Amino acid sequence: MSRISLSRFLIEAQRTEGNLPPELRLLIETVARACKAISHSVNKGALAGVLGEAGSGNVQGEAQKKLDVIANDILLEANEWGGSLAAMASEEMELPYSIPENYPRGRYLLLFDPLDGSSNIDVNISVGTIFSVLECPPGDVAPSEADFLQSGRRQVAAGYTVYGPQTMLVLTFGHGVHGFTLDREQGSFVLTHPDMRIPASTKEFAINMSNQRHWEAPVQRYIGELLAGTTGPLGKDYNMRWVASMVAEVHRILVRGGVFMYPKDARDPSKPGKLRLMYEGNPMAFIVEQAGGAATNGRMPILDIQPSKLHERVAIFLGSREEVERVTAYHAAD
């Protein structure tokens, strides 16, 4: 049986299913090529002198790693000239990036977190890239920040690449979730995980327990029940995982189930959460829902949130449906 490359998979989806416009297919292939270049830089690490701090900060006020800057530049340069995009937005940049005037403009908007989990870079733990695709409002020749402020339900595609022992691209355009592994000898992504599904129940959770003292009461209740194991109300023992890379956490959930949580806490009441809605919450929620899971901010589906700004933050509970619905119900009862 011949292996199915990403390009073949996308072309067949465009031709036989009719649910993938050619411009969107080309955009996804361009993002995939950029992710291959990022993977190469990540894999070279100290050999290429790309580890350590960049000596700059991003719009979030966070210190940038060298690879944060490299990954951001790779994605911008790869996607600015292809004719599929009207504009781009990055977690690393304050304002949207307009397509240069000497290049054609397309119908889509691309948002991305160029290197999620970058605190893991120097210790050789998995990191990743997350991306989201929206349609630009018709007739808009100069997209602004307001054009990006669409709810997650309006995404036409989303995906992530995890740079781990293997480099994998996981993708949805609203018709299921499919995983592709990078064959380094051939230089192409190959379909290895078709129709990925998240088990409805789980015995595994991921959360940063060092923040427990800051959590709201519903989260304290839920985590307490998980930790109580077979002697508690849930009647089973749970294992905890924490990689400090959302891509790695979500990928584990897609492969074997689980629930990932980054709740709101009391340290900064003005912030509804830590992770970014547009670059992390929406694309991951789209993927998780398409794989049969659930994703909420504790009170409503993440995909139903109407964003008010480009770098808006959000609390996140996503993964196996039974657990996400349980912790969301605890918030509703609070």
Binding site listing: 91, 113, 115-119, 208, 274, 280
Asked whether 163 and 36 are in contact (CB, 8 A), the reply is: no
Gap between the Cα atoms of 28 and 171, Å rounded: 9
Compute φ and ψ for 212, nearest 5 degrees.
-55, -40
CB proximity list for 283: less than 8 A, separation 6 or greater: 111, 130, 131, 132, 152, 155, 158, 159, 160
| Torsion (CA) 44, 47, 48, 51 in degrees, nearest 10 | 80
Gap between the Cα atoms of 204 and 220, Å rounded: 17
CB proximity list for 74: less than 8 A, separation 6 or greater: 34, 37, 38, 41, 114
For 87, how many CA atoms within 13 A lie in the half-sphere containing its CB?
20
CB proximity list for 97: less than 8 A, separation 6 or greater: 76, 80, 87, 88, 89, 90
- Residues annotated in a binding site for Mg(2+): 91, 113, 115-116, 280
* Distance, CA of 114 to chain centre: 10
Calculate Rg over the CA atoms of the chain. 19
Helical residues (DSSP H) of the chain, grouped into ranges:
6-12, 22-44, 66-79, 145-148, 217-228, 246-256, 282-290, 321-333
- Residues annotated in a binding site for substrate: 116-119, 208, 274
